[in-house]
Amino acid sequence: MDNNLNSFFAALSDPTRRAVIERLTAGSAPVSELHEPHGMALPSFLKHLGKLESAGMIRSEKTGRVRMVHIEAAPISEAEGWLHHQRKMWEGRLDRLSTLAEKFEKENDDG
Amino acid sequence: MDNNLNSFFAALSDPTRRAVIERLTAGSAPVSELHEPHGMALPSFLKHLGKLESAGMIRSEKTGRVRMVHIEAAPISEAEGWLHHQRKMWEGRLDRLSTLAEKFEKENDDG
């Protein structure tokens, strides 16, 4: 799982690759349509798709002359889950600190 | 914001850096304590801290002879927010497809 997160986060560190993910959340698309908005040579664009595919974030299949690209949901959930957990841990700590501070204040008022 | 996400996700693509974030969610810590579990030369470890710091995910301050490291919460939330949005978009599409399929089935039953 740790290795998965390495490649998920590395794959998401590039704006072209994030744009591909954003587009694919609306539905699968052929490579040509994904490539079109990026003003980039096709081989460079295919390298980006390759990184997403080897990270397991997309899969593609050739139907006739068209290569269709699909999103894989699990990596998004796994990366989101890790971040969510960190935030919850951090917020939990803030809550405990705040409870301690209130308790301290109350004890000082009472005393 | 796009540039922020580049550096947040790149910073999180390394297990040492994720371990530092995980440790800091429990509370701020001196560099020496953060370094201790990693069995890595200090200069290499400081490079990892430097990447987290330049991504804005941690900040540090020297008090006396000790450099304390603190987590910055905003980048975690921003990266989590991006992933959450992608998942919601994707799930929304699945819901719409499922509604369409039900409607189609019902119309076929009625006909």
> What does each C-alpha distance from A59 to A14, A72, B23 come to in angstroms?
18, 7, 34
Running DSSP on this structure, what letter comes out for residue B32?
H
As for the ipTM of the complex, it is 0.88
- Please judge whether B26 and A76 are an interchain contact, meaning their C-beta atoms are less than 8 angstroms apart: no
pLDDT, average across residues A92-108: 85
Give this prediction's pTM. 0.88
Q: By CA distance, what is A14's nearest residue in B?
A: B6
Partner residue opposite A18 with nearest CB, options B5, B76, B90: B5
Q: What is the pLDDT of residues A22-41, one digit of tens each?
A: 999 999 999 999 999 999 99
Instruction: Mutation target for A interface from B90, B93, B97: give the one with most A CBs within 10 A.
Output: B90
**SS (HEC) of chain A:** CHHHHHHHHHHCCCHHHHHHHHHHCCCCEEHHHHHHHHCCCHHHHHHHHHHHHHCCCEEEEEECCEEEEEECHHHHHHHHHHHHHHHHHHHHHHHHHHHHHHHHHHHHHHC
Amino acid A2: pLDDT: 64
pLDDT tens by residue, B68-100 = 999 999 999 999 999 999 999 999 888 888 888
With a CB cutoff of 8 Å and minimum separation 6, the contacts of A1 are A78
| Residues of chain B contacting residue A10, judged by C-beta atoms under 8 Å apart | 9-10, 13
CB contact under 8 A, B12 and A7: no
Q: For chain A, say whether B12 makes contact (Cβ under 8 Å).
A: yes
Which positions in chain B touch A55 (Cβ < 8 Å)?
Answer: none
CA distance B96 to chain A (A): 11
The shortest CB-CB distance from A9 to any of B12, B22, B93 is to B12
Nearest to A76 by CA among A26, A22, A14, A28: A22
